[in-house]
Amino acid sequence: MSAMSRAWRIEYEGALYHLLSRGNEQRDIFEDEMDRNIFLDTIGEFSERFEIDVFAFVLMDNHYHLLVRTRHANLKKAMHWFGTAYTQRFNWRHFRSGHLFQGRYKSIIVQNDAYLLQLSYYIHRNPLRAGIVERLADYHWSSYLAYAYGRKAPEWLSKELILSQFVSQYRHKRYREKVQKYAKEEKRLWEDLRHGLFLGSKSFVERIRKEHLPSETESAIPQQTQTAKPSDPVSMLRTAERVLKCDVQRFVEAGRVSGPEKDKRDLMIYLLWKTGGYNNDQIGRLFGVSYSAVSHAVRSLKSKLRDNHELLTTFNKINSLFKL
């Protein structure tokens, strides 16, 4: 997002969110165990004061993740209080002043309990991905031990919604096994992230669009303008084919392409991906490639757009037709 853009905060009763905030200039937001305990106490106040269910958390050195459900449409008010309260407590302890967190917190609206379960795996694996520990059982600043081993947890942690998805009496063991095996599935989870705001199906995005998109979108909020224009992949591809003078079916039949033809194909893949309306599997089926090939095409095209003026001009031409 540009410096002038703002995040679209969608609030409603019973909304599920994945929340993330980083330290200003990537600096640490915890200096010792006392800071971490103060942070957990602040989460408890946040949960009680604003009637918010907290399902999972992890505290890293310079950022945190939370999985929550708001019983009321009050996320903005609650998060403003939370960020301010912890910042004041941290600053008071360390004789400092000014901002602690980097700009606005990130919030992703989660479709249902199934996505919530997968997000809990992702969140709990953070210390492992960061190389802080070799075994998650050795990391004590997350809700993982409560889920995986039944260890004592803060009173404000709501575990039942996630654990109820395991019918076995050995649900802590089942949860632990799922987290340990989740490494290969993490990338697939984020393929259902749409517009950087919604984690769920296309129909879920459509429902949110109908219920919460204002009649007049704000240009300073890119997520609103992107969500406001439901797209038809077939018409998009036909228009792109005319501009690029190519044929999607030829790409499908060829299998592997290279050179200028690959740039054209990757540009079309990127156009669909950028709408946020299609996941990698859906895009891959249109072009006869795998979901991982779509991820690679998007990364490759992004890189080329920074250096290839001719390709960027072509992209902007097609992009302007759809006002993505």
- Mean per-residue pLDDT for 93-120? 93
Structural domain contains residue 218:
no
Domain edge (last residue) among 194, 223, 239? 194
Do 240 and 159 reside in the same domain of the chain? no
CATH code assigned at 162: 3.30.70.1290
CA 261 from chain centre, in angstroms, equals 32
Strand intervals (E) in 111-262: 193-194, 198-199
Question: Is the per-residue pLDDT at 232 higher than 80?
Answer: no
What's the CA gap between 178 and 148, in Å, rounded? 10
Sign of CA dihedral 20, 24, 26, 30: negative
CATH code assigned at 302: 1.10.1750.10
Structural domain contains residue 105:
yes
Do 173 and 251 reside in the same domain of the chain? no
Sheet of 52-59: strands edge to edge? 52-59, 63-70, 15-22, 106-110, 198-199, 193-194
What's the CA gap between 173 and 164, in Å, rounded? 13
The HSE-up count of residue 164 (CA atoms within 13 Å, CB side) is: 8
Question: Is the per-residue pLDDT at 271 higher than 90?
Answer: no
Whether the model pTM is above 0.75: no
Do 169 and 239 reside in the same domain of the chain? no
| DSSP per position, 57-85 | EEE-SSEEEEEEEESSS-HHHHHHHHHHH
Do 29 and 158 reside in the same domain of the chain? yes
In the chain, the percentage of residues whose pLDDT exceeds 90 is 50
